[in-house]
Structure 1
Amino acid sequence: MALRSKLADIKKLDSSAMTYFKKMKVLADTLTPIGRSLRDEEFPGFVIKGLDADYDNLAEAIHNAKPVMPPHELYS
């Protein structure tokens, strides 16, 4: 639960997109070995949550993507 809370609390702020994404991916990947992997649709939701209004268009595209974007496409 603590790792999921951290994922929900991370904000991009002034960090680069690469730094922000790496933080998110490391935390998400940490859940797998303990048997608490994120579902495919959860990771993009956590990423979107930490973005500010400058990324509204990107957030909308991610939210509307069908099927859900896998992390490597999300980063691209």
Structure 2
Amino acid sequence: MPKRLRSSVKGTGADAATARRSPAAATRSIDVVLDQRLFVLEPDQHRTLMQVLDDPVEPGPKLRWLLHRTPAWQK
């Protein structure tokens, strides 16, 4: 495991011993850490983001069609 990544996953259980015992668990721990996102926003940008998240647009006809169609794996 690269040094930079190793230092970023401290405390997640993705240490060398875990990797030897359970490679899948170590990989999953690393994936969880890498999937985290940090948004650094100005106050007005944060307000705008919160408004968009709290008040999404109404779904249009194409989205309604997509959500109501039968998935390919169920045909």
State the TM-score, normalized to the length of structure 2: 0.25
Query: Which structure ranks higher in relative contact order (CA pairs < 8 Å, sequence separation ≥ 6)?
Result: 1
Larger radius of gyration: 2
State the TM-score, normalized to the length of structure 1: 0.24
